[in-house]
Chains A and B, each alone.
Chain A
Amino acid sequence: SQKIEQNSEALNIQEGKTATLTCNYTNYSPAYLQWYRQDPGRGPVFLLLIRENEKEKRKERLKVTFDTTLKQSLFHITASQPADSATYLCASNAGNNRKLIWGLGTSLAVNP
């Protein structure tokens, strides 16, 4: 079945370093991938979308890559700050584009 996997282990990094989160997909080829941020007790917030024909996309300190050979997307936060601490979710289109496939998310903690 179509599946997205994200690292279930929390990522702890020092302030100022680059955080890198991984999203792997199996058994399908998504046309695009999306990344969301979710804070405790809140709904997910859309961050970035990258299409299959785009290798890389940037928005301020955020960078997303899409490698169709490795079936993987990487999400980078450069110059990380404690305010970046949250859970980050990866999602992609399903076959008919009427719903998304979601990963379980990776928790990021940025320590001052």
Chain B
Amino acid sequence: NAGVTQTPKFQVLKTGQSMTLQCAQDMNHEYMSWYRQDPGMGLRLIHYSVGAGITDQGEVPNGYNVSRSTTEDFPLRLLSAAPSQTSVYFCASSYNFGGLGDGYTFGSGTRLTVV
């Protein structure tokens, strides 16, 4: 099915561990982004990419790295997990930067718990 695929759906990490959240889209979207969603905080942008090889920071980039080697994939790396990174993470993509036209397409999310 066309869309944004995120893996894993659930993950528990110990403080200090690292991991990569995977995101792949098959819609040939240039723009991809990572958000975290926390109660009372809404969706906050972590990193985004406007095309292969180009990434930039969002509002809350500390503790996260990204890379974009292909149009399809945009993995998010947690370098050294902290309890403050417990959250639900969403990957989103769109044809253009602002989601004009068909808006953003979101993945189903990764629920991460850091203990």
Residues of A bordering B, CB below 8 Å: 31-32, 34, 36, 41-47, 49, 89, 91, 93, 97-100, 102-105
- Nearest Cβ on chain A to B40's Cβ, whole angstroms: 7
Contact status A46-B108, CB under 8 Å: no
Contact status A99-B43, CB under 8 Å: no
Contact status A100-B90, CB under 8 Å: no
Instruction: Name B90-115 residues within 8 Å CB distance of A.
Output: 90, 92, 97-109
- Nearest Cβ on chain B to A78's Cβ, whole angstroms: 21
The range of chain B's interface size is 20 to 34
Contact status B102-A46, CB under 8 Å: yes
- Nearest Cβ on chain B to A39's Cβ, whole angstroms: 10
Nearest 6 pairs of A and B residues by beta carbon: A46-B103, A43-B106, A97-B98, A104-B42, A102-B43, A93-B98
- Nearest Cβ on chain A to B102's Cβ, whole angstroms: 6
Partner of A100, one of B4, B98, B102: B98
Which residues of the other chain, B, contact A89 by a CB distance below 8 angstroms?
42-43
Contact A100/B99 with A43-B108, A43-B109, A44-B106 known, Cβ cut-off 8 Å:
yes
Which residues of the other chain, B, contact A36 by a CB distance below 8 angstroms?
103-104
Instruction: Name B1-41 residues within 8 Å CB distance of A.
Output: 4, 31, 33, 40-41
Which residues of the other chain, A, contact B50 by a CB distance below 8 angstroms?
98
List, sorted by A's number, 10 A–B pairs whose CB atoms are closer than 8 Å. A44-B43, A46-B103, A46-B104, A89-B42, A97-B97, A98-B50, A98-B56, A99-B58, A100-B45, A105-B42
Which residues of the other chain, B, contact A99 by a CB distance below 8 angstroms?
33, 45, 48, 58
